[in-house]
Amino acid sequence: MPEYELLSDYPLLAHNTFGFDVRARLALRLTEEAQIAALAHDKRLKDRARLILGGGSNVVLTKDFDGVALLMELRGRHVIDQDGEAVYVEAAGGENWHEFVAWSLSQGFPGLENLALIPGTVGAAPIQNIGAYGLEMGERFERLRAIELSTGETREFDRNACAFGYRDSYFKREGRGRFVIVSVTFRLPKKWTPRAEYADIARVLERGASDNPQAIFNAVVAVRQAKLPDWRVLGNAGSFFKNPVISAAEFDALKAREPELVSYKQPDGQFKLAAGWLIDQCGWKGRSIGAAAVHDRQALVLVNRGGASGAQIIELADAVKRDIHARFGVELEAEPVCL
């Protein structure tokens, strides 16, 4: 059996980007795949709940965790293959996402630059199909390898099996909590085409620079730094809510009442609403309950101003949801997993 040290009463403060001061009854630092496969047969862990933590950037820990926290520290990134059309790069689940994006660009393989500076790990990226500035990870995804916690067996998932949607995948639904994603392979097309139409990006991109992936990377970093708080300074988990999607009929009725409504028509005819705008309109931007606050530069982000608990963030989120529902008749859904 591979070695690992079982840590007890382990502080999770440094393992969640909201900066909640909670503890796990047990914790394990996982640096090898064999350790993950062995978990299923470790009698000391039998019947204990498991919490997989990568960067901890998409989780709200409302209380101490009475189980075993699996701290993902698997490292490694390589070019594994290429054909006439694309380069295939693989990274271990514990690799930092942003560093991986920067590395792939520095190797001469663009394609992920719109997703620069998203917090978290490579292994967490497919779970909620991270996306930003006109690109979703699923569009560059080839396959992943995951270990099933209950059996220790390795399984491969292709794009279909992952069932990617908007901030959604198989791993948020039927597969929730069942797998540790140990590596992800991306397909980066050799014929690179820029995605620089997103208004914020187009605005900061130097004229004529849209055919330069490094310039797009820099623009994305600049826009994120201007709007989104750095979790090292102000705890947060990125957008706290998903942008709600409503039917064309609901949209027409709402738009008639709220002509300024910010929306994006979807390929299936539905409409995605800018939740940040809805929250802003209800006067929540910059408001707080205790140290739990709505960010003053992006109303979709909830922040911990220092010492807030997960329960206070949930209380704030519920108050925001109630107001949005009362005024717009729209239900907001939290993006992070709340525990």
Residues identified as active-site? 167, 239, 335
DSSP 197-241: -SHHHHHHSPTT-TT-HHHHHHHHHHHHHHHS--TTTSEEEEESB
Nearest distance, CB of residue 228 and ligand EPU, angstroms: 6
Residue in the shown chain whose Cβ atom is closest to ligand EPU = 238
Element (H, E) at 68: strand 65-72
Nearest distance, CB of residue 190 and ligand EPU, angstroms: 25
Nearest distance, CB of residue 262 and ligand EPU, angstroms: 4
Task: Select 283 or 307, whichever has its Cβ closest to ligand EPU.
Answer: 283
Nearest distance, CB of residue 327 and ligand EPU, angstroms: 14
Task: For the chain, count helices (H), then strands (E).
Answer: 8, 20
**Which residues of the chain form contacts with ligand EPU (CB under 6 A)?**
132-133, 200, 227-228, 238-239, 242-243, 262, 274, 276-277, 280, 285, 298-300, 335
Give the single-character DSSP code of 31.
-
Return the number of other C-beta atoms located less than 10 Å from residue 26's C-beta.
19
Tokens 């926290």 sit at which residue?
A: 69
Token representation of residue 50: 């498991």
Task: Select 116 or 147, whichever has its Cβ closest to ligand EPU.
Answer: 116
Nearest distance, CB of residue 263 and ligand EPU, angstroms: 10
C-alpha 47/C-alpha 150 separation (Å) is 10
- Give the torsion through C-alpha atoms of 163, 169, 175, 181, to 10 deg: 100
Task: Select 162 or 220, whichever has its Cβ closest to ligand EPU.
Answer: 220
Element (H, E) at 25: strand 23-30
Nearest distance, CB of residue 12 and ligand EPU, angstroms: 20
Token representation of residue 279: 């929250």
Nearest distance, CB of residue 164 and ligand EPU, angstroms: 14
Give the single-character DSSP code of 256.
H
C-alpha 51/C-alpha 65 separation (Å) is 8
Q: Do 240 and 339 meet the contact criterion of CB atoms below 8 Å apart?
A: no
Encoded amino acid at 196, one letter:
A
C-alpha 120/C-alpha 57 separation (Å) is 5
At 236, phi and psi to the nearest 5?
Answer: -165, 170
C-alpha 129/C-alpha 136 separation (Å) is 6
Q: Determine how β-strand 131-132 pairs with β-strand 337-338.
A: unpaired
Token representation of residue 270: 């539905």
